[in-house]
Every structure is written in structure tokens, then in C-alpha cells.
Amino acid sequence: MKRVITYGTFDLFHVGHENLLRRAKELGDYLIVGVTTENYDKERGKLNVHRSLMQRIEAVKATGFADEIIIEEYEGQKIDDILKHNVDVFAIGSDWTGKFDYLKEYCEVVYLDRTKGISSTSLRSEIDSIIELGIIGTGRIANRFIVESKYISGAYVKGVYNPRIQSATAFCEKNELEFSTDDINVFLDKVSAVYIASPHITHAGYIRMCLEKGKHVLCEKPLVLTRAEAVELYALAKEKKLVLKEAIKTAYAPAFNHLMAMIKSGTIGTVKDVDASFSKLCNAGLRELKAEEMGGSMTELGSYVLLPIVKLLGKDYKDINFYSFVKDGVDLYTRGVLVYENGVASFKVGLGVKTEGELIISGTKGYAYVPAPWWKTDYFELRYEDSNQTKKYFYKFDGDGLRYELNDFISQINNRDENNNHKLLNDESVFIVSVIEDFLKKRNVTVIQ
């Protein structure tokens, strides 16, 4: 008897899951299906599972393909199960190609082709919970977004748009999407929500087109390049009763939100100073260093460092000054200082100058220290005059962090709850855009050599 095993969460059970089980069953005589527990899903970074373990087991059982159903509860269990059940074939979807090659030591590993077009097929009773996403752009972050989307239940990346059809086609084939196109109208007719990962200068136009077509939008930072555009587009989204979110991943990360909540509760007293830094050295030729595409440290990294500043000190600063090292029309390093009535903030961003990427928040009773890379917050300390009172906090930051912003985006679409926008308020996003616009328009900018 040839024994086959496969695993999955099987949440919001749909025809893609059913086809996977059918194909796995066809590989042998006896199919074992492992269904993951909620706790294990959280441990491996999968967010917002909708259905209980028993509901998901019943959905698998209802297909009639599983001869045996087991529970997956811990990392490394697959090897134990393969040995325990004398498994001949391990089968999994092709979107995990290469991930489980380590199991070839124990049995044959087969990656099954992903089912395309699940949106056009009956998805049982949960169809309204699955959001069909389209991606505008095919660059590095768009590829990372595809990987991260696998960890969000109810998000289905359906297709991609790029005005250069060769890029769209290659991206579609690589990521096994349902369609690719260079026609924006065709693209928007096929999806219900859009992730924009195109160059900065195109954001405003694409957001406007998506909203006018009735599509929810998650847009990479910076949202747009002028305050007027940000205000207009958030107003348009509200008028259309659509979700518009800026994709600053740090804003949606669990540890960062816990840190902000603790500080606002007074754990270090009244905040008087925020100092944030973010730098990375980029190779020549990348988009980040092209003046014609509005590249530079402020447009690329400014959204991150301005986030804790607006969260803790607010929008109403009295003065702002920038000090910038510029080459070929691109700021390779910029330092900014914002003066408030009752506090001060400073930040450093760099694409051609390297500095320590830490976040320090100073208060009247103590201070918070978040080591580099603080924008991927997984650890921070609250420090006091008496070092014995220092407290250390540890959290998970899974993958590239894009799953957190996508999870929030999908949840808000499904809940239709405007109050679920607290992790990054619209006016906070507008503030960030406003500061970046001040820099781009050379307001209070001193160029250093």
C-alpha cells in the first residue's frame, strides 16, 4: 500500500483545497491529512485563522479524500509523522516549492500544481470572506508580498498589472497567479482590492483610479508625495466607503503597537524626546538612488522614522529643519529635527551613509530603547535610573513583516469598521507625507558637503 501525507490549515475551505486533496489522493492508495492547530499556526507566523480546528477537520473530512486525519501541533512533526505512519510520499502545494526538500531523506516529495482561478468557482459558504487581490508593480517588495500573503487567511492574490507586459507575464508565471495584464482597466475589473508596489511618483494616480473603480487600496510608503494628494485621497476613500491604508509595516507589527501603548500609558513618564534612525547602503543603479523616480533617503525611509514621532509627540510641531548630504539630486543622508511646544524629535535616514538603526524614546521617569533594526521590532527595554527596574520585552516579528499590514487590511475590509484604523490613523499618514513634502520642496533644508 502506497501511503501519502499532506498538511495544511484548510481555513475558509475552497476548491483549491479540495483539488489539492484530490491530487494528493491520486498519488497513492491511502491519504493522511495533517490539519494544523491554532497555536502552531501562530508559532509559524500564520495570522487570522477564521475557523476552529474542529470546523477545519470537518471540512477536510467532508471531501471524502482523507483516509486518516491527524493534528499537526509542533515544528518538526512532519518527520515524526512520516516515520510513524510509514509514509511513501509527502505532497504539498507548489507555492511551497523547495521548502520541504529536507524531507526527501525520508520519502518522496511532490509539489502539486496550485489551483488557479478559485475566485471563479463556488467557494462554499465562505466566499464573502476571501478578498481577491491584485498587485500593481513587479519589483522586489511585490515578490516579498506574494510570500507574505500565504500567511493570511482570506487573502487570495489573483493577478498582477505592469505597463510593461513582459514584466507582468514573468511575475505571473513565477508566482503562479491567475492573470497578468498591461491594461489597468482589465486589471481593476478582475479584483476587489489592490496592493500598490509601484514607484513613488505613480502612487497618487493609481490610488485615485482604484478608488474611483470601487477597489480597496493598500499602498506602499510613502502613500503620495504631497499633503494635498493625501487629504484628497483619504476623503475619496471615505466618500466611497473603501479602505485606504499606507503600508508602513512597522505600524502594524505587534511589538511596536505594544511599545506605543506602554509609553502612552506613562510607563516612562512624559515623553520629551524621540530619536529614530534607519539606514541601509544601496548599490548604484537601484530605483532608490534615481532622482527621476524621486529616490532618496527621505522618500525611501522617512515614513519609518516619522512614525514613532507622530505617534508620541503628535502633528503640531513648531519648527522643522533638515540637514542633508546630496549627490546627483538624491539625498544619501538626511537628519531632521522637529521642535514641539513640550518636546523635541530627531531622525536620521541614509542610503549612502551608515548609522546605528536604533530608536530611543526619552521620558521624565525613564526611557525606552529599541535596538537595530527597530523597524522590525521584536525586542525592547524600558530603562530607569535604578537599573534594577529595567524591564525587557520579547515579541515575534515574522518574515518580512508585510503579513501584519495585509492582515489589518483584510480585517478592516471584512469588518467594515472605520474604528479599526487606529494602528495608523489617516491624519498620521498625512503628517508623514507633509514632512516628506517639506523636504522635497527644500523648506528649511541645509545641504552639507
* pLDDT per position as a tens digit, 140-151: 999 999 999 988
Strand runs labelled E in 73-136:
89-93, 108-112, 131-136
Look up the CATH architecture of domain 251-448: 2-Layer Sandwich (3.30)
Higher pLDDT, 188 or 97: 188
Does pTM surpass 0.75? yes
**Number of alpha carbons in the 13 Å side-chain half-sphere of residue 424:** 33
The 3 state secondary structure assigned to 130-167 is: CEEEEEECCCHHHHHHHHHHCCECCEEEEEEECCCHHH
The pLDDT score that the predictor gives to residue 418 is 53
Q: How does the average pLDDT of the chain come out, rounded?
A: 92
Q: Is 410 helix (H, G, I), strand (E, B) or coil?
A: helix
Q: How would you class 328 by CB atoms within 10 Å of its CB: exposed for 0-12, middle for 13-18, buried for 19 or more?
A: exposed
Residue of 348, 350, 351, 269 lying closest to 359 (CA atoms): 348
What ranges do the domains of the chain cover? 3-112, 118-249, 251-448
**Confidence at 296, pLDDT banded by 50, 70, 90:** very high
**359-363 sheet: strands from edge to edge:** 391-394, 379-384, 366-370, 359-363, 271-279, 344-350, 330-339, 319-327, 445-448
Residue 123, pLDDT above cutoff 90: no
**Confidence at 127, pLDDT banded by 50, 70, 90:** very low
3-112: CATH topology is Rossmann fold (3.40.50)
Are 118-249 and 251-448 equal in CATH topology? Answer: no
Q: Which CATH superfamily is domain 118-249 in?
A: NAD(P)-binding Rossmann-like Domain (3.40.50.720)
* pLDDT per position as a tens digit, 392-413: 999 888 899 999 999 999 989 9
Higher pLDDT, 188 or 117: 188
Residue of 66, 103, 109 lying closest to 83 (CA atoms): 103
